[in-house]
Structure 1
Amino acid sequence: MIGAVLAPFTFGLSFFLLGMYAMRTGFQNLAGKRMADWLARFTRTPVHSFWVGLLSTFVLQSSSAVTVLTIGLTHAGMIGFAQTVGIILGTNVGTTVTTELIALRLESFAVPMLLVGVAMWLLPRRLPRCIGLVVAGFGLIFLGIDTMQVMAGPLQQSDTFRALFLESSHSIWLGLLTGTIFTALIHSSSATTAITMGLMSHHILSMETALAIVLGANIGTCFTAVIASFGTNAASRQVAWCHTLFNVAGALLFLPFLSQLALVSAFLTDSPSMQIAHSQTIFNVICSLAALPFTRQIAAFVRWMVPDKKRT
């Protein structure tokens, strides 16, 4: 039983994370060298910062990577903390693009995409090699999802697993905690969401539990940024904790309304995977757009919570 679950989970997660790395590397080679310049130059207003955070997260395929990059630029004095609030709000929306793509259920294209990507990577010119990495990365992601879904069958037969998630269905707090811890351990909210989609497609989880796990994943993704802020200046720590506080506050505010969020997503599509993707998008868009007009106030609050040493 353990082997039937652990083997597909381990291989599937490895394929998924390797695909994310390959795709991120391809995008970075295409535009990553300009990313720091974009973050430093085009963050003059909260709206500009928001779009920079959104586009950067789409290119780097990781909100944590953009937040860590932002922490580095803040520590170097290239941008001020107030400019980073809009970037953080944008990263939360940008990360939903990957989730929406994953929800399209393109597993049947996994091997062809992987083969095409490898073939392009073997070409001598730089541009097709970079594009090949991106295509192969997508192929590995879908291959990983397909592999992880193999574990759903044995899990359905497990009395222990059924009891655990039956308890989770009665306590969305347990789902929130599960999503937070698992994402903090594997450093990928997209992977957590993909696993949740796989379990939902086999009707192992309730929609409310699945959405609680996804909200927890949003909190868990802040763990990398908090670690990156250790040993940095106050402004960099403010960036990390702003990201954390915003995601925690958003998750806690939405937690009582998971049933309503599930109803809205069910109205948009019949597919459980698409419902999860749409719910995450709705959650992140609403939270980010609601907070965008108050970036100065948010920055002031975070400065009060994480003050400069000079002020203490």
Structure 2
Amino acid sequence: MESIVTMFIVYIWIFLFGLFILKTGIQQISYHKMKMWIKKYTSNPIKGFLIGVVITAILQSSSTTIVIIVSLTSLGLLYFPNAIAIILGANVGTTLTAELLSFSNFWLMWILLISGFILLCIHKQRIFSIGCMLFGLGTIFTALYGFESLAEPIRQTPYMEEGLYDISRETTYSILFGMVVTGITQSSSAFTGMIMSFMNQELLSLPSAIAMVLGANIGTCFTALLAAIGSKMEGKWTAYAHLWVNILGVLFFIPFINWLGDFVSHLSAIPGRQLAHASVIFNLIISSFFLLFIKPLSAFIKMTSRKA
């Protein structure tokens, strides 16, 4: 039991370390450009939505995008309804990370690690940044294989397998599990990667895995709430918008989890890839819906925050 927990924590940290290295390489190339694009190209909700998708796909972190948005909104550099549009785009953009993780491959892992390490030894900023991205992605793949290696020890530990089964058979428990673990790790990507690995080893069913990822969408909101502490009211509104969009989206989609599982099972035979597709579809549907009601949503958030 202790060895499994220890290795689980180790692989979580390896994943987060790889994600940090990947983001460092990306940010060195484009972080300041991201801020400029956000301020310049958000004149209407559609543009804001697309900018949110693109920037989050590049940064590989919705949390980074949301923190930037909270800061810009708090400073009065970004109009609050347009900030909501970027948040909706960020929710879609972050699903591309799951799609990327679904292509994890043993030989690709070693190619990325070795080529990335070689480029890290070259003292030119752009080449070094590319090396960070390659080595970081290879490190993430390493963690994913680590998670998969825990499947057999978990099966051989009856109460751990039973505990995971008890959580997964109730949708509410699965959502809470995803929310809590993501809130602790501050990375929905790490949690999604872990769940994909367990699915590949047949430890989780597709509907329960989808429910856990829906919970992770709520758990990732904690980062925005932390970023909003001490900020002006506009910044707090932005964090609340992120929270409300994800809570309402998950509540709306709970009755359709089995339908979504059936649908994505026809798109791919690979369990991890099915989960990645489900995450994309969920966020695309919910974000598209809220994009049509940005003004009522912004008014609702302002009203509820005043009462609070």
Q: TM-score, structure 1 length as denominator? A: 0.95
CA distance in 1, matches of 2:221, 2:252: 17
In the alignment, structure 1 residue 244 sits paired with structure 2 residue 243: yes
The residue aligned with 1:56 is 55
AA in 1 matched with 2:19: M
Give the whole-Å Cα distance in 2 for the aligned partners of 1:118 and 1:182: 31
* Partner SS for 2:292: helix
Structure-to-structure mapping, 1:128-207, within 5 angstroms: 128-207=127-206
Q: Is the 8 A contact 1:12 1:146 kept in 2?
A: no
The equivalent of 1:65 in structure 2 is: 64
- 1:154-204 per-residue CA deviation (whole Å, 9 max, x = no partner) reads 111222122223322431100000000000000000111111111111111
| Counterparts of 1:170 and 1:124, CA distance in 2 | 52
What does residue range 12-161 of structure 1 map to in structure 2 within 5 Å? 12-161=11-160
Q: Counterpart of 2:209?
A: 210
Q: CA deviation at 1:107?
A: 3.4
Structure 1 residue aligned with 2:230 = 231
Select between 31-40 and 106-115 the one with higher mean Cα deviation.
106-115
Query: In the TM superposition, what is the alpha-carbon distance from 1:31 to its structure 2 partner?
Result: 0.7
Matched-pair identity in %: 32
Gaps of 5+ in 1: none
Deviation at 1:290, TM superposition (A): 1.5
Q: SS of the residue aligned with 1:269? A: coil
Q: Structure 2-normalised TM-score?
A: 0.97
Contact between 2:17 and 2:136, CA under 8 Å: does it hold in 1?
Answer: yes
Unmatched 5+ stretches in structure 2: none
CA RMSD, Structure 1 to Structure 2 (Å)? 1.4
Give the drift of 1:232.
1.0
Mapped to 2, the partners of 1:169 and 1:243 lie a distance apart of 26
Paired residue secondary structure (2:104)? coil
The amino acid across from 1:24 in the alignment is K
Deviation of residue 206 (structure 1)? 1.7
Judging changes above 3 Å, is the alpha-carbon distance between structure 1 residues 80 and 307 closer, same or farther for their aligned structure 2 residues? farther
1:11 corresponds in structure 2 to 10
Q: Distance in 1 between matches of 2:73 and 2:164?
A: 42
Query: Is the deviation greater in 37-46 or in 167-176?
Result: 167-176
For residues 157 and 124 of structure 1, the distance between their equivalents in structure 2, rounded to whole angstroms, comes to 48
Give the aligned partner of residue 2 of structure 1.
2
Give, in angstroms, the shift of residue 7 of structure 1: 3.5
